[in-house]
Amino acid sequence: MLMIFIVVLVGLIAILFIFRKKDVDRNISEFPLKWREILLKEVSFYKKLNTLDRSIFEERVQLFLKNKKITGIQTEITDEDCIFIASGAIIPLFRIGEFYYPRLNEILVYPEHFNTNYDLKGEDRDVLGLVGAHGIMNGTMILSQKALRQGFRNAKDGRNVVIHEFIHLIDGADSSMDGLPEVLLEHQYTIPFMKIVKEEIDNIHQGKSDINPYGGTSDTEFFAVVSELFFENPRKLEKDHPELFSILKKLFKVNENY
Ligand SMILES: [Zn+2]
């Protein structure tokens, strides 16, 4: 009994911490027309929203951009890049509430893929995005501009590096980036979620799954990879992995018609 109480209490504190709104500069003006055109043209999640939800989405885009620093490294950042980054931050938690990732200070945009030494010229440049909670990467996200743009322009391929990296931050909001997003998981779904994750990772390892094999490298990557697919191509995930789709719907609190 005491254990349940402690678990619930820790959960509540984590939720309060993750959704705290203090320190957010809310001084914004009218949403720029040019930004709306980008959303309508490139962000399929936004396009599917009704008028009221679109205005909520737009306000969150503005607040995110007002409160986060985005810096191009050896590249020019466009309005489109900024809208893509903000959208990737907002989409996963859109139905849950406002959240501006208090532990994230800056997003660095590299022109191309990079390697694990943050090197743009060295070997093995296969990293599309990175987010860190420790050491020199504390509070920083790095994104490949090329991958960032591809993520939104190929709306149905199930790949979106921005959503992927923000999912890692949501996963880590309970202090452990372990593929178990305690801030989203209601107690009764924890065991079923862990069971599905194990089964699906086993299927990837046995070559019996069409999920991006990178998801088989760890529970953390699995959660990020399937969340990308959930937000990019929900119909495919629903058709091929109905149980997983159903539990992700509960996690992200999207409605029946999603
Ligand atoms: Zn990852």
Pairing of strands 129-131, 140-144: antiparallel
According to DSSP, the residues that pair with 127 across neighbouring strands are 114
159 alpha carbon to ligand 1 midpoint, in Å?
12
User: What top-level class would CATH report for the domain 31-252?
Assistant: alpha beta
pLDDT of residue 40: 97
- In our burial notation (b when 16+ CB lie closer than 10 A, e otherwise), range 7-29 reads eeeebeeebeebbeeeeeeeeee
* Cβ–Cβ < 8 Å for 125, 114: yes
What confidence tens digit (pLDDT) does each residue in 31-87 have?
A: 999 999 999 999 999 999 999 999 999 999 999 999 999 999 999 999 999 999 999
Bridge partners of residue 69, in order along the sequence: 106
CA of 234 to the centre of ligand 1 (A): 20
**What is the C-alpha to C-alpha distance for residues 110 and 142, in angstroms, rounded to an integer?**
7
pLDDT score for 120: 74
Does the pLDDT value for residue 24 go beyond 70?
A: yes
pLDDT at residue 247 in the model? 95
| 237 alpha carbon – ligand 1 mean position (Å) | 19
Tell me, in angstroms, the distance from the centre of ligand 1 to residue 31's CA: 32
Q: What is the overall mean pLDDT for the chain?
A: 88
pLDDT(112) > 60: yes
Region 222-249 average pLDDT: 95
Torsions phi, psi for 214 (to 5 deg): -60, -30
Interval 119-157: pLDDT, tens? 777 777 777 888 876 666 778 999 999 999 999 988 788
CA triple 138-140-141, angle to 5 deg:
135
Position 206 pLDDT exceeds 60: yes
Q: Using the 8-state DSSP alphabet, how is residue 78 labeled?
A: P
> Which residues, in sequence order, are CB contacts of 125 under 8 Å at separation 6+?
112, 113, 114, 115, 119
pLDDT for res 131? 84
Q: Which of 36-40, 123-127, 196-200, 220-224 is the least confident region?
A: 123-127
